[in-house]
Each structure stands twice: as C-alpha cells, then as structure tokens.
Amino acid sequence: MNTTAHLGCPKCRSTAIALQPREWARCAACSYGGTWGEFQVCECWGYECPPITVHRESHQTVPLSTGAFLGVRVEQGLAGDVMLHERNPYHLAGRSRIYWCGGRLHLAVGDETPLIPMKNPRFETAGTADDAAELAIAFFAECAEVSIQHARAEGIPVEHCYAHYVNL
C-alpha cells in the first residue's frame, strides 16, 4: 500500500475534496471542512488518489543589498492555483504569502484574514504560475529593500524591524 501523502477526507474517507483559498478544503461528500493538512492522509484506502499539493522551490532568487538572497517556495494546488511563500533570511517566520488563482495575485496575510487583492498594477496579474512566482519574488524583494533601508537609517539589525511597507 502506498504511504505517501494523499488527498482524502479524514472523517468519511471520500476523495471528493474541494480546495479553497488560504489553505482550506471542504469534503463534498460530508461537508467536513479543515486545513489542507487535515486532508493529507498517509494511506489511500486501497486505491490511488492524487497528492494534494506539489511543493517546489523557485529556481530564481534575487540578491538583496545586504548580500542575502531571497526566493519563494511554490505550493501548487490541484485546481491550478498557487500559494507563493516568501523565503527571506530576515523574515524567518515566513508568514508572507501571495495567492495566485485565475491570473490574479492576492496578498495572504495570516491564516484568518481574507485575501487582499493586489492593487499595484505591477503586481496585479500573472499569466502563468511561473510568472506569478517571478512577480512574487519582485514584490518580496521590494518589501525587503524598504526594510533594509529603514534598518540602516535607524542603525538596527534588519531582522528587528522587518515589515512590509510597499503600496499594495
């Protein structure tokens, strides 16, 4: 029996799962709702079912003015949607995410807040998941550089004041 992570409802074992934004999912059979992680089970109950997401590191990284490198982790859902997670050495919590679905980019802040559509024309839309990853890297790099400049002006370590100051 295959023991890799598969997509299935932990309550009724159905594989009819509807993925929703912000890493939530709902079972179409019993209406059970929860995080994507709750629907990743370690057995496929005797039949093959698809993995819930595909994770990969973006091949592109950009250097920051401090010499550190910034990139994104790409988490692709079954419906073709993508969650782009910031990989920044100064933002170790890694909570900055951009959600791409239907060609539109949305800022995902925290777990409980609604998605915020990007309003800066440079970061509003992307034609493909790879284009979205490139835009996410550019967005996160711009935010990081603003934080680095602020830290230098204040004479404090970057990680002590890291925040996003860009116009959304």
Residue 43 has pLDDT above 60, yes or no: no
Residue 22 has pLDDT above 90, yes or no: no
Give the residue with greater pLDDT, 92 vs 63: 63
Lowest mean pLDDT among 30-39, 83-92, 120-129: 30-39
Q: What percent of the chain has pLDDT over 70?
A: 61
Separation between Cα atoms, residue 67 and residue 130, nearest integer Å: 24
CB environment 100-125: b (16+ within 10 A), e (fewer) = bbeeebbbbbeeeeebeebeeeebee
Token reading at 21: 């934004």
Q: Which residues pair with 106 in a beta bridge?
A: 99, 117
Instruction: Name the band, by pLDDT with cuts 50, 70 and 90, for residue 124.
Output: very high
Domain spans, the chain = 6-51, 55-161
Name the residue among 135, 4, 149 with its Cα closest to residue 66. 149
Per the CB < 8 A criterion, the answer to whether 5 and 41 are in contact is yes
Residue 46 has pLDDT above 70, yes or no: no
Average pLDDT over residues 90-118: 80
141-to-44, 61, 65, 66, 147 alpha-carbon distances in Å: 40, 10, 10, 12, 10
Average pLDDT over residues 98-115: 83
Residue 166 has pLDDT above 60, yes or no: no
Q: What is the mean pLDDT of the chain?
A: 74
Torsion of CA 117, 111, 28, 7, to 10 degrees: 110
Token reading at 155: 């004479």
